[in-house]
Structures are given as C-alpha cells and as structure tokens.
C-alpha cells in the first residue's frame, strides 16, 4: 500500500512509518493538513492516516476535503490521543474507516490497516482478475483477451494487474512507479508513459473492448469501464471516480 501519514506528533509519525515500512508498505509523512491536501491534488494514496489535532486545520477538515474531492472512497484511519466517545463517533460519522488511540501496537495496527484495505478493495487478494473480455491469471502471470494470450513483459503485466485491481481509480504517476518499479528505484516517468502506451496497444484498451486507459494531465492515469452513454459500445459496470482535492487545497490555502 501507498500510505499517507498526517500525524501531529513527529515521533509517533516516524514510529508508524517504520512499522509500516517493515510490513512492506510505502509511506509518505506530511507536516500539515494543507501540505497533504496540496500534494493530494497531484498524487494518489491507498490509505490516509490522520490525527485529529494538526498544526493548521483539523483531521476532520482533512477527512471532509478527501470525501468531497474524491469518490474513490480512499480509506481514512484516525490515529489520535483524543479518545472521548463523542470524538470517535464524530470521526466515524464523518466518514473515517477506523479510529485508533495510541499507544499503537505495531502488529495489531498493521493487521487492522490491512483489514481496512481489504474491505475497501475486495480484489486485492484475488489470484485471477476477470474483467471480460480480459482475464489476468496472477499465478501464471498470463493475460488473455477474448481467450487469446497476450504477450506482455514482466513490468507490463505488473502494471496491467495493478490497473485492473484499481479499476476506476485515478492513480498518480508516482503511485504507479512505486507500485510497479519500487520506491527505491530511480525510474523516469517517461518509462511509465512508454509502458502505458504498450499496454493500450497490446491489450486493446479501447471502448470497443469495454475499457479505456485514459491520461489525466498533470496527474497520471485511470483505467475505466466504458460509460453506457458511449455510442455503439456495450458498457460494463463502472465505479465513478473524481478528484477535486486540489480545489479543496486551494480553499484551505486561501483560508
């Protein structure tokens, strides 16, 4: 997972980062709510960990901005010393997916975070991804279109699997590079663009096949099912995704 950490206590934020990195996750620590919202306007994350008390705005403000700005339902988990029943209820009612009161027990916390992620993304552990006419067998690392095998390189297959697992989500270039090439590898974004171009061609990601791989300027890419309004194409189910977080960041900065 690519995790954003927005916690007031810097020592606690570092402890969370270390625990999650040991579990194999990529972590990005932010010092303020506005800093996160600005970054979220150009980057995507799988999960947000947020404190109630921040240096500028409140965690509830950040949560509401995320929920207004994106319909992808990114899981948001509160990590806060505020443990009054009303505080916990307010956070959950505002759209938080879980609420953890420190001290955090690393193994339990990672398990809870994984559970939140699985609930939000039921395909995350699937070994065969079926999106007719596409099938991706993750065990055999084989992709087929209308039953015919499509020859993909290792990175092309990894990229295709990640995109189909996140169907409908707007994914930033940085997110895709970390997920497929790894955070420690210095890969130019042009490499990603080239792989995306190859996938479009090899898999035929066009409306006539029910899916479209679109480029979102200054952000990244989104694999989406064709809308029912598209002419002469049988539409497949689609989860609508929007962003708008940059707008909320601008409002926060103005305030």
Give yes or no for a contact between 56 and 69, defined as CB atoms under 8 angstroms apart: no
What span, in angstroms and rounded, lies between the C-alpha atoms of 225 and 222? Answer: 10
Domain ranges across the chain: 2-121, 128-165+168-225
- Residue 255 pLDDT exceeds 60: no
- Residue 134 pLDDT exceeds 90: yes
Element (H, E) at 111: helix 106-120
* pLDDT, mean of residues 105-122: 90
What span, in angstroms and rounded, lies between the C-alpha atoms of 160 and 175? Answer: 14
| Residue 138 CA: distances (Å) to CA of 135, 142, 164, 165 | 10, 7, 12, 11
What span, in angstroms and rounded, lies between the C-alpha atoms of 68 and 37? Answer: 12
Architecture of domain 2-121: 3-Layer(aba) Sandwich (3.40)
Give yes or no for a contact between 212 and 226, defined as CB atoms under 8 angstroms apart: yes
- Residue 142 pLDDT exceeds 60: yes
CA 50 from centroid of its chain's CA atoms: 16
Strands laid side by side in the 98-100 sheet: 26-29, 2-6, 47-50, 76-79, 98-100
Residue 227: pLDDT band with limits 50, 70, 90: low
pLDDT at 232: 44
Q: For the segment 201-210, what is each residue's pLDDT rounded down to a tens digit?
A: 999 999 999 9
User: 254: burial class by Cβ within 10 Å (0-12, 13-18, 19+)?
Assistant: exposed
Q: For the segment 152-167, what is each residue's pLDDT rounded down to a tens digit?
A: 999 999 999 999 999 9
pLDDT at 203: 96
What span, in angstroms and rounded, lies between the C-alpha atoms of 112 and 103? Answer: 14
130 has which bridge partners? 135
The percentage of residues in the chain with a pLDDT greater than 90, rounded to a whole number, is 73
* pLDDT, mean of residues 92-120: 92
pLDDT at 6: 96
Enter the CATH code of domain 128-165+168-225. Answer: 1.10.10.10
The residue among 196 and 247 whose pLDDT is bigger is 196
Please give the mean pLDDT across all residues of the chain: 86
What span, in angstroms and rounded, lies between the C-alpha atoms of 91 and 170? Answer: 25
- Output phi, psi for 149, to 5 deg: -65, 140
Element (H, E) at 134: strand 134-137
Tokens of 250: 């601008």
């Amino acid at each position: 997972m690519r995790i954003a950490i927005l916690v007031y206590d810097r020592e606690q934020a570092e402890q969370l980062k270390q625990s999650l990195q040991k579990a194999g996750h990529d972590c990005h620590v932010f010092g303020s709510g506005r800093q996160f919202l600005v970054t979220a306007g150009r980057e995507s994350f799988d999960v947000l960990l947020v404190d109630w008390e921040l240096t500028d705005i409140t965690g509830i403000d950040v949560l509401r901005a995320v929920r207004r700005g994106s319909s992808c339902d990114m899981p948001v988990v509160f990590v806060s010393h505020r443990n009054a029943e009303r505080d916990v209820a307010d956070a959950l009612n505002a759209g938080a997916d879980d609420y953890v009161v420190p001290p955090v027990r690393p193994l339990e916390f990672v398990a809870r975070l994984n559970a939140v992620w699985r609930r939000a993304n039921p395909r995350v552990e699937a070994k065969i991804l079926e999106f007719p006419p596409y099938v991706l067998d993750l065990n055999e690392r084989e992709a087929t279109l209308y039953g015919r095998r499509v020859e993909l390189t290792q990175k092309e297959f990894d990229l295709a699997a990640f995109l189909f697992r996140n169907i409908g989500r707007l994914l930033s270039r940085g997110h895709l590079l970390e997920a497929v090439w790894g955070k420690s590898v210095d890969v130019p974004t042009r490499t990603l663009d080239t792989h995306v171009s190859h996938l479009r061609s090899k898999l035929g990601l066009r409306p006539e096949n029910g899916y479209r791989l679109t480029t979102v300027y200054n952000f990244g890419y989104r694999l989406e099912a064709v809308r029912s309004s598209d002419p002469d194409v049988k539409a497949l189910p689609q989860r609508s995704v929007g962003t708008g977080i940059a707008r909320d960041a601008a409002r926060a900065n103005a305030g």
